[in-house]
Amino acid sequence: NFLGKLNYGAVPVLTAADQLLPTSVCTRSIASILESRVIDYDAMDPEAEDAFYVADMGEIVRQQARWHKLLPRVEPFYAVKCNPNNMVLKTLASIGTGFDCASKGEIQMALDQGVDPAKIIYANPCKQISHIRFAAAAGVRMMTFDNADELRKVKGAHPNAQMVLRILTDDSRSICKLGTKFGASMSAVPYLLRTARESDIDVIGISFHVGSGCFDANAFGEAVILARKAFDEGAAHGFNFRLLDVGGGFPGNNAAGTGVGFQEIAAILGPTIDRFFGPEVRVIAEPGRYYVSSAFTLAVNVIARRVVPRDAVKTMTPATTASATTVSGPAPTRDDHPSYMYYVNDGMYGSFNCITFDHAVVTPQVLARSGQFLYGQSTLSQDVDFPCSVWGPTCDSIDCIGKNFSLPEMQIGDWLHFDNMGAYTMCAASQFNGFKKSAIIYTNTEA
List residues binding ligand PLP (CB under 6 A).
79, 82, 100, 123, 178, 209, 212, 247-250, 286-290
CA angle 359, 341, 381 (to 5 degrees): 90
Q: How far is CA 83 from CA 19, 206, 288, 414, in A?
A: 15, 25, 8, 28
Q: How far apart are CA 226 and CA 208, in angstroms?
A: 9
Residue closer to ligand PLP by CB (options 56, 100) is 100
CA angle 135, 84, 2 (to 5 degrees): 100
Residue partners of 187: CB distance under 8 A and separation at least 6: none
Residue closer to ligand PLP by CB (options 22, 249) is 249
Bridge partners (DSSP) of residue 302 are 344
Residue closer to ligand PLP by CB (options 212, 444) is 212
Directed axis angle between helix 86-94 and helix 57-70, to 10°?
40
Residue closer to ligand PLP by CB (options 181, 314) is 181
State the nearest-atom distance from the C-beta of 222 to ligand PLP, in Å: 18
Q: How far apart are CA 411 and CA 426, in angstroms?
A: 27
Greatest Cα-to-Cα distance within the chain, rounded to the nearest angstrom: 79
State the nearest-atom distance from the C-beta of 38 to ligand PLP, in Å: 30
Whether 214 sits among the annotated catalytic residues: the reply is no
State the nearest-atom distance from the C-beta of 97 to ligand PLP, in Å: 13
State the nearest-atom distance from the C-beta of 260 to ligand PLP, in Å: 13
State the nearest-atom distance from the C-beta of 286 to ligand PLP, in Å: 4
State the nearest-atom distance from the C-beta of 420 to ligand PLP, in Å: 13
CA 204 to chain centre: 28
Residue closer to ligand PLP by CB (options 38, 95) is 95
Residue closer to ligand PLP by CB (options 374, 423) is 423
State the nearest-atom distance from the C-beta of 178 to ligand PLP, in Å: 6
State the nearest-atom distance from the C-beta of 390 to ligand PLP, in Å: 25
Residue closer to ligand PLP by CB (options 30, 178) is 178
The torsion angle over the Cα atoms of residues 380, 382, 385 and 391, rounded to 10 degrees, is: -90
Residue closer to ligand PLP by CB (options 213, 338) is 213
Residue closer to ligand PLP by CB (options 168, 341) is 168
Residue type present at position 252: G
Cα-flanking dihedrals φ and ψ of residue 80, to 5°? -55, -35
Tell which residue, 119, 64, 77, has the closest CA to residue 295: 64
Residue 119's Cβ-count burial label (10 Å; 0-12, 13-18, 19+) is middle
The catalytic residue among 126, 176, 395, 400 is: 395
Q: How far apart are CA 294 and CA 376, in angstroms?
A: 15
State the nearest-atom distance from the C-beta of 233 to ligand PLP, in Å: 21
**Active site members:** 395
